[in-house]
Structure 1
Amino acid sequence: MAGESGPTELSLPKAMTIAAFFGVSVYNSIEILFSIFHRFRTHKGLYFWSMLIACIGIPVHAIAVLLRNFGLAPSVPMCVFIILGWWSMVTGQAVVLYSRLHLVRDEKKLRWVLMMIITNFAILHLPVSGLYLATNINPDNTRLTYIFSVYEKVQLTGFSVQEWVIAGLYIWGAYSALNPILKFKGPRERKVLRYLVLVNLIVIAMDGSLLLTEFTDNFEIQTTYKTVVYSIKLKLEFYVLNQLVFIIHNPTSPTFRTPQESEPAPSTEDRAESVTVIAKARMRSCEKKRHHDKGPTPDGHARPYVNSTLRHFDTHSEPDPWLSSSSSSSSTSSPSSANSSSRTVSWTRRCALLASLLNL
């Protein structure tokens, strides 16, 4: 079969297509690389490193595939670079999606997603990598080449299903977690949730197109088109990231709205629910860092690790205009709602807690 066991004679249309895909993927990866270091304030965390590794894997895979397909370099050494780039690109992208799920899903349930990624790496990446090297070391072994071509379809389907599962969990979790926050936002901000769903549907469609090239026995096209697909996925990931930042940092006061976007203030219950969402996210983040500060205070008391973090944002915040207006205008409200309305919680600062989880 053409392309699996070594370089082959390519027609002019295929050669031009491969070269075009190579140029697009390398350009996208360079742009993404600069965007990564520009967007993130601190260069740490699973989200940052997984995105960086996935980005670096794209040009490594693309360059090695180009040199191998055109016979410009020895086949076996290029196969090693192709495999390393493939691991970084595919599993790196899966870890990017997994790390983003922490914003919208329960962390205990995410362990199943992590187990799925590790299992797929073991049963899909490793066997295909061994078969790929073996077919290029022994290009005349047609049986080995046939086994590789079958397993290649299996692994591509498996990784596509993996990303579909993660995308589905994200869509479901984003609606559950962001809906309380978007209740007191304007129409423009509420469209963000629809955009996030649309982006994930585009990713699913691109995986489908990649499967189409594989099952039509266009191996040379599939290996180069794959880098284009994953580079576009990472660019879409930055779109998702920017939309989340827009939700977090966009002013919530009606004075920042246009007349068309002005709306009645949300109820105290809605705002309390939204504060709870951010507080829980911050508490999960603080739990991860608790081991850095386990000891008691000098006077023997336990350290109020999470409470002090949240109290800092409460005591240093400005009066919320919506809560103030609601407390002054409602003379028949219950004592509990009056107490809630008199709290000086700055919602912009609360949203900054969520931004800190992404190191933005």
Structure 2
Amino acid sequence: MITSEDPIDGISGELANNTWTLQTALVTFIAISWYNVVELLILVLCTFRRWKGLYFWSLLLSSCLGVFPYSLGFLLKFFTGANSFLSVTVLTVGWWTMVTGQSFVLYSRLHLVLRDERTLRRVLYMIIANFFFLHIPTTVLTFGSNVADRNPLFVHGYNIMEKIQMTGFTIQEVILSALYVYETIKLLRLSSDKSKRKIMHQLVGINISMFVMDLILLGLEYASYYAVQITLKGAIYSVKLKLEFAVLGRLVDVIHGPRRFMPANSLALSSFPYANGSTAFHPPPANPNRSEDFYAHSMTGAISNAERSGEKSAVPDGKILAMTEFSTWVEQRPQSHLCHGEEREA
């Protein structure tokens, strides 16, 4: 049981060590968070041509409606006489959007390196389940520790639940990062392009860096440095979002190739070489900028035509090739099988 003499270090809105050094550190962390949010907002709005999609909205909301209100709530809580209900509501909404939103940012690009639909669904179910199992109980205890009569039972319960939810969300992000690292390493073995390998190495390095940052936050939580941990969390999440934005967008070009309309290349890719040296032309889809749609259309169309004509290709039935896999398959084919396709492109 927590007594009135125990240091609560900001759990119910009061700092146990209210020194100038601590206050300066907390304000610095909040300022870093806001600076990164403003910079990321400008980059996102200027980079995306179409403001839609899970990646765009998860990135935008987790920064603007996540990191910003999360840090603002703690600024109100620690440094102003604002109403407790207001500050806790603001930081709670920000916390929900920041933590779960960042996981959705990773999830939105996971399909580029991971083709197993069952695993992708399980990852999605994990993110949704953790929202209810970790966010909701912690929120109830947060309001009980700050808005109600600040009963020591709520504070004690919050101390326990805070560690549980921190551990749970850390495990969730470690799983997402581990999937990226594992699948990226497999792709590195297929690619000989130095520029692509460089981006893949950056993706691995960023996920390892995010794992280290999560461990720092978890260590501060178990050491009971509550005020430092929760304000540093906003700064760390803003840095992680910027790192993810820097490399995940380039991952599209690595997997599918540059998103530009090139009729000659489209013709070459749509001409799928069979075992007997013949090709079957398939027009590109209506939206050539959607490279993932184009490749799926070309590969599945060629395979189905081969089946109808009784010809056998070297690709297993029903397989949709990723661009990296298709490139590797073509490189391994005898040159004589590709001559006819090259003549058509010329």
What TM-score bracket applies, with the shorter chain setting the length? Answer: 0.7 to 0.9
State the AA in 1 paired with 2:174: W
- Indicate whether 1:51 and 2:59 are aligned: yes
Query: Is the partner of 2:126 in helix, strand or coil?
Result: helix
Is this contact kept in 2: 1:6–1:136, CA < 8 A?
A: yes
Query: Is the partner of 1:249 in helix, strand or coil?
Result: coil
Q: Distance in 2 between matches of 1:284 and 1:143?
A: 58
TM-score by length of 1: 0.70
Compare relative contact order (CA 8 Å, sep 6+) and give the higher one, 1 or 2: 1
**1:107/1:207 CA distance change after superposition, 3 Å:** same
**1:282/1:104 CA distance change after superposition, 3 Å:** same
- Identify which of 148, 164, 171 aligns with 1:138: 148
CA drift at 1:38: 1.6
Match in the other structure for 2:230: 223
Is this contact kept in 1: 2:112–2:252, CA < 8 A?
A: no
Is this contact kept in 2: 1:283–1:306, CA < 8 A?
A: no
- Indicate whether 1:19 and 2:17 are aligned: no
- Indicate whether 1:151 and 2:158 are aligned: no
**1:90/1:341 CA distance change after superposition, 3 Å:** farther
CA drift at 1:3: 1.0
- Identify which of 317, 336, 339 aligns with 1:338: 336
Once superposed, what is the RMSD of the aligned Cα atoms? 3.5
Q: Distance in 1 between matches of 2:101 and 2:343?
A: 39
Gaps of 5+ in 1: 252-268, 270-278, 288-303, 312-322, 328-332, 348-360
TM-score by length of 2: 0.73
- 1:6-85 correspondence to structure 2 within 5 Å: 6-8=13-15, 10-56=18-64, 57-85=66-94
Match in the other structure for 2:109: 100
**1:250/1:3 CA distance change after superposition, 3 Å:** same
Match in the other structure for 2:170: 160
CA drift at 1:11: 1.2
Q: Distance in 1 between matches of 2:239 and 2:207?
A: 12
> How many residues were matched structurally?
281
Query: Is the partner of 2:74 in helix, strand or coil?
Result: helix
State the AA in 1 paired with 2:28: A
Q: Distance in 2 between matches of 1:122 and 1:188?
A: 41
Is this contact kept in 2: 1:8–1:70, CA < 8 A?
A: no
- Identify which of 126, 135, 146 aligns with 1:125: 135
- Identify which of 98, 103, 109 aligns with 1:89: 98
Match in the other structure for 1:211: 218
CA drift at 1:189: 3.2
Q: Distance in 2 between matches of 1:174 and 1:189?
A: 11
Gaps of 5+ in 2: 1-7, 261-274, 276-284, 286-290, 306-326
